[in-house]
Amino acid sequence: MNNRFNNVNTGKNRQGAYAFAARIMLVILTMAVCLMIPTPADKANAVSISVNGDEKGMIKNSDREAAYVILIEYMNDLKRRDLSAAQKAELDEIMYDANVFIANTEMTVNQLATYEVTVKERMEAAAAKEVPSANKFLFIDNTSAITAAKYDEQTAITLSVVNLGDTSVSDVVITPVVDTSKKKWPFVIQTASDARVIDNIAPAKSIEQSVGLAKQATWYFVVASDAMTGVYPITFHAIYYRNGAVEEADLKTYINITGKASSGKLETDDEATPTETLKTSTPRIIVTGFTTDPETVMAGDTFNLTVTVENTSDKTAVSNIQFDFKAAQEGSEKETTYEAFLPTSGSSTLYVDRIGPGESTDLSIEMTARADLTQKPYVINLDMAYEDSKHNPYTAQSNVSIPVKQEARVDSGDAEITPENVEVGQSVNVMFPVYNKGKTILYNVQVEFVSESFTGGSTFLGKLDPGATGNVDAMLDAVAATEDEGIVKAVISYEDEAGNVTEVEKELNIFVSESYGDDMYDMPEIDEDGDGIMDGMDYDGDGIIDEYYGPQKKSFSIPWWVWLIVGFFGVAVIVVVIVIIVVAKKKKLAAELAKIDDEE
């Protein structure tokens, strides 16, 4: 009995233990199921897992679509916060970049999951930014192209700055952030500061409206000879006034540099970090260089522009490519804007059927530079539209900077020469104007006088702006008598922006005669001893002063009394002649009277 009771108790104990264990398992399963059900926050942070394969396989289109949905939902959740227009625009930009990257990149499931987390972190950081003032609303508008440049060449970087705030900003001073590291600053450092000033930037209510309200600022840099090939981020620092307070902001743009082969390539942060990389097959077309024929483009001339473009993808070919050349607009007012270059054929569009992976091709177009352009580089934008092997469309934009030269026009006015004839040892004053009739600045203008008869007269005029006049006022010293036509050359020399020297000659007529000295007029004028002979002279009766002319040979002279006798006899002869004439007349008259008496 006791044994049966014990057996019954033992059975009951076993059943209770089984029931208790079952309850415990049910609780554990319930907790596991609860943990597996994602909360809204877990949804936002969920990582897409490929349904069609394991985590070690490559992602498929379904994985890409799932990742896109997760990221777009995450972004929309963030936008429900009280965000500014600038923050929302930054979220859109992050989402756009992520979509392009995921759609065109081959990667594993793990790599996609890692990338999703990275994108979410970027979105969260953009949404968490504080926007206390307008400095968070200053941006470079998204129509700004990436500039392309080559080593040892000058290039232009133009910032198109927009204000997405609610108030205007004024007195905007923008300076480039220069760095001595060639990995951060690929240009030659020429000045300590290179600031540009924008008077005012009006606020825009939308990104579309901001394009019309954008203000531009342009810098000209020379790419260093040892610059590496790659895309450099260039930062500009802005200081300005908003509501009477000083605020600051940083603006970033990019430039694609083509360096020497020996300089190597710019190493990006991704390349420098030995982590698992993502292979991308996105085809990109970039400008690797350009030439002009002739090499120097003068204002008003026609030239042939050849641009070399390259397909940077090593696996994907691009096809059905359209290139549009468009010169940047010049002029400050809408009514006076114009394009610096115009295609001679009337069309600025070129078509290329295909560019293979890693291949390059040349694009040639004939253009004419406007005659009234000032001497500086001008930008030509190159818009590109193309497709990959799967007919996915792409667009890109680049630009080249064409330096335009203006022919210097130097002229001079009539020269005023005082006196026009001089003797050796004397000086002459020469004055005439020098005119800059061109559209380019003349540097180190100076005038030299070249002649065997004169020395001196060098004149430095310095810089002459377009339309300016420099006045030459020089004194020339006569050192030798003129043996030719009396031509004196005034050589006018000047330099252009590159330091090239040009000379222009002007001919002047100035005669130089020998100097006879003043000693012929320095004879003594005082006879202190009263002897009738000038002091210091040896007057020997011949009427010649020996001291000046030297001893003279004496000639035969007639005494004075002989001249007196000759004069007396001369007078006597004259008297006798007169008496004879008078007597003859009286005799003739008497004869005539006697004849009359006889007739009576």
Instruction: Supply 437's token pair.
Output: 């009739």
Are 328 and 346 in the same domain?
Answer: yes
- Final residue of a domain: which of 114, 131, 148? 131
Q: Is residue 354 in a domain? A: yes
What single letter denotes the amino acid at residue 591? A
Tell whether omega for the bond before 233 is within 30 degrees of 0, i.e. cis: no
Q: How far apart are CA 154 and CA 375, in angstroms?
A: 13
Residues 474, 492, single domain; the answer is yes
- Summarised one tens digit per residue, pLDDT across range 544-567 is 444 444 444 444 556 777 778 878
**pLDDT given for residue 351 in this prediction:** 92
Could you tell me which residues are beta bridge partners of residue 343? Answer: 367
Q: Is there a domain that residue 551 lies in?
A: no
As a whole number of angstroms, the distance between CA 168 and CA 177 comes to 24
In this structure, the answer to whether residues 120 and 149 fall within a common structural domain is: no
Q: Under a CB-based contact definition with an 8 Å cutoff, are residues 44 and 77 in contact?
A: yes
Note whether residue 583 is domain-resident. no
Residues 115 and 53 in one domain: yes
Are 186 and 116 members of one domain? no
Same domain, 376 and 284: yes
Do residues 101 and 174 share a domain? Answer: no
Q: What is residue 590's predicted lDDT score, i.e. its pLDDT?
A: 76
In a domain, 536, yes or no: no
pTM over 0.85: no
359 assigned to some structural domain: yes
Pair (102, 153) in one structural domain: no
Are 348 and 381 within 8 A, CB to CB?
no
pLDDT value at position 46?
37
Q: Is omega for the bond preceding 343 within 30 degrees of 0, making it cis?
A: no
| Of the candidates 124, 109, 105, the residue with the CA atom closest to the CA atom of residue 45 | 124
Domain edge (last residue) among 487, 513, 539: 513
Angstrom distance (rounded) from CA 210 to CA 133:
18
Q: Which residue has the tokens 């997760």?
A: 70
Domain of 104, in residue numbers = 40-131
Q: How far apart are CA 365 and CA 157, in angstroms?
A: 23
Strands 297-298, 393-405: parallel, antiparallel or unpaired by DSSP? parallel
Token pair recorded at residue 369: 């530079």
Whether 550 is in a domain gets the answer: no
- Which residue, of 375, 407, 439, is where some domain finishes? 407
pLDDT in tens, the chain (600 residues): 444 334 434 444 444 444 445 544 544 444 443 444 344 334 333 333 333 444 457 888 888 889 989 999 999 988 887 677 778 888 888 998 898 899 888 899 889 999 999 999 999 988 886 544 444 567 666 556 678 889 999 998 888 888 877 788 888 899 999 888 888 899 998 776 788 899 998 888 776 777 778 888 888 999 999 999 988 999 988 888 887 778 888 888 889 999 988 888 887 544 444 444 444 467 889 998 899 999 889 888 999 999 999 998 888 899 999 999 988 777 655 555 678 898 998 888 999 999 999 899 999 999 999 888 888 888 899 999 999 888 889 998 888 888 888 888 899 999 999 888 889 989 999 999 999 988 888 999 999 999 888 999 999 999 999 889 999 999 999 999 888 888 899 999 998 877 889 999 999 988 888 877 554 444 444 455 555 555 555 545 554 444 444 444 444 556 777 778 878 788 888 888 887 887 777 777 777 777 766 665
CA distances from 517 to 9, 81, 321, 421, 514 (A): 160, 103, 89, 16, 9
Angle at 289 between CA 285 and CA 294, to 5 degrees: 135
Task: Render the burial of 317-355: b for 16+ CB within 10 Å, e for the rest.
Answer: bbeebebebbbbebeeeeeeeebbbebeeeebeeebeeb
Calpha distance 502→496 (Å, rounded):
8
Query: Is 104 in the same domain as 138?
Result: no
Q: What is the per-residue pLDDT for 281?
A: 60
Q: Same structural domain for residues 20 and 96? A: no
Q: Would residue 305 count as lying in a domain? A: yes
Looking up residue 207, the CATH number of its domain turns out to be: 2.60.40.10
The reply to whether 225 falls in a domain is yes
Alpha-carbon distance values, 492 to 96, 191, 375, 415 (Å): 61, 30, 22, 14
DSSP string, 287-328: EEEEEEESSSEETT-EEEEEEEEEE--SS--EEEEEEEEEEP
DSSP single-letter state for residue 229: B
Are 213 and 293 contained in the same domain?
no
pLDDT, position 241: 84
* Helical axes 85-103 vs 109-128, angle rounded to 10°: 170
pLDDT, residue 470, reads: 94
DSSP secondary structure of 451-515: -SSEE---EEEEEE-TT-EEEEEEEEEE-S---SS-EEEEEEEEE-TT--EEEEEEEEE-EEE--
How confident is the model at residue 450, as a pLDDT?
Answer: 92
CA–CA dist 297, 405 (Å, integer)? 6
* 231 CB-near residues (< 8 Å, 6+ apart): 146, 254, 255, 256, 257, 266
Number of domains within the chain: 5
Look at strands 147-150 and 245-258 and give their pairing.
parallel
C-alpha span between 235 and 254 (Å, rounded): 8
CA angle in degrees (0–180, nearest 5) for 581-582-585: 85
State whether 295 and 402 are in the same domain: yes
